[in-house]
Amino acid sequence: MSSKSGLSDQNWGKILIVDDEDMVLSVLKSQLQPEGYHISTEKSGVKALELLQRETFSVILADHEMPEISGMDLLKKAKESNPQVTRLLISSGLSMAELTEAIKSETIYRFVTKPWLREELLVTLRNAILHSKLVSENKSLHERNIQLNLKISKMSEAAADQPGEGDPSDGSDTITLDDVFATSDSPGGASVPPPPGVELAVEAFTKVLYTFHPNLGNTSLRAVALCQTLGEVLELSSDDLKSLLWSAALHDISLVGIDRGIVRRWLRGPEKCTDEEMVLIKRHPVQSQTMLEDFPYFQEAGEIIRSHHENWDGTGYPDGLKGEMIPWLSRLLNVVITYCSKHSASIQAMSEIENGKDTLFDEDAINALAKAAPLTKMPRGEREILLIELKQGMVLAREIYNANGFLLLPKGREMTEASINKVWSINRVTPIDPLVLVYC
């Protein structure tokens, strides 16, 4: 297999077509080459697998009905040996249930019916290319984060072995805790920037969170914006503000280790989860802190995160802290996250939070939120809903595609009664993704 971790620019248009019929290969090649794609063809699935060992492709398009090895089995093997290649199946003999299951299991990305429509094929192919880019970029980002974490760990070890400030004249690049969290005696004072790459790591974590569940990623993004304003309103020190911002971005990172179905139910309402599932959910503040404790500059953020689900009356978790025993910045983060995760107008969200005064929330934290919220330019809210929950006037925050990958409705489209009925009608015939992302 190629040692390349991702696809280079010249490989984005490389497509491998596998079909045992010369006529099919000829027609596909004549349709795709004028679009700028670089086409390779094979009549044998076995030879196609050998070719995948020598060359890098962005997409493999395989016919299902072939001798030696079926197209589905070929793509299963390609998934194991070349997971970065987007896999498309041409089929006329498989049932919709089989094809849908293949998509769910990620054996194939999409399928093309035989005979195909040229425009539908081109749209499916363009989506496949974009999917291949995303997979490759995510892999590169993951590898870069691993290297970054290793580098940061080494810097932290070096700082522990050589305490004190390095002499600038000796060329030392040792980073100490004072370098990372430069303390200022005056509120809002300037601070030394964090080690190179830390902001990139935070951004990568939040992107992973958004990919896992858009509600979580969007809440983190909005919470960071609101905490920035809170820092100015309360005149927090630069260190406290930095820790609060990082805790706002990273407070839910351990949720990606919990089954997505459980997290979805919890976000729709804790009462929808079983007692066993809530045990898993209530562990996440501690687990998020544990994920950060190896990095000294995230230590304070981890402590804030641990207590951000504690309630003023002691009914929260994980430690059952009460009143002023809860760290001040955790009390702030609690009201911020609650506000940012609500899918209602600002006035209504604030009213609901005020109803929790002295039971769920600290009154001082509520007052600080009330001052900061109107001054904050908040990123647009997003939430994931079920297809059947679409309502007139909602605006799509993500495209809706049919089962073949054909674009039905673009991002930014305001839903009308006609467009909703259209999507529901298509879904009844060929089920599409039941989850929809809308702005709120």
pLDDT of 179 reads 33
User: DSSP 3-state assignment of 91?
Assistant: strand
Cβ atoms of 138 and 130 within 8 Å: the answer is no
Average pLDDT per block of 10 residues along the chain, 440 residues long: 39 85 91 90 93 91 90 92 89 80 85 82 81 65 55 48 40 32 37 60 82 92 94 93 93 89 91 92 92 83 96 95 96 96 88 94 96 91 92 94 87 94 90 90
From residue 286, alpha-carbon distances to 138, 303, 308, 361, 375 in Å are 27, 9, 10, 20, 32
**Eight-state DSSP code of residue 414:** B
Architecture (CATH level 2) of domain 383-439: Alpha-Beta Complex (3.90)
d(CA 258, CA 274): 14
**Eight-state DSSP code of residue 422:** H
The dihedral sign for the CA sequence 159, 162, 167, 169: negative
pLDDT of 296 reads 79
Cβ atoms of 326 and 335 within 8 Å: the answer is no
Provide φ and ψ at 305, rounded to 5°. -60, -40
pLDDT of 131 reads 72
Domain boundary assignment for the chain:
9-135, 175-379, 383-439
pLDDT of 178-190, one tens digit each?
332 333 333 444 4
pLDDT of 164 reads 40
User: DSSP 3-state assignment of 350?
Assistant: helix
Asked whether the bond before 115 is cis by omega within 30 degrees of 0, the reply is yes
CATH of 175-379, one of 1.10.3210.10, 1.10.1740.10, 3.50.50.60, 3.40.50.12780: 1.10.3210.10
Q: Which fold has domain 9-135?
A: Rossmann fold (3.40.50)
Length of the chain in terms of residues written: 440
Cβ atoms of 338 and 287 within 8 Å: the answer is no
Cβ atoms of 434 and 387 within 8 Å: the answer is yes
pLDDT of 263 reads 93
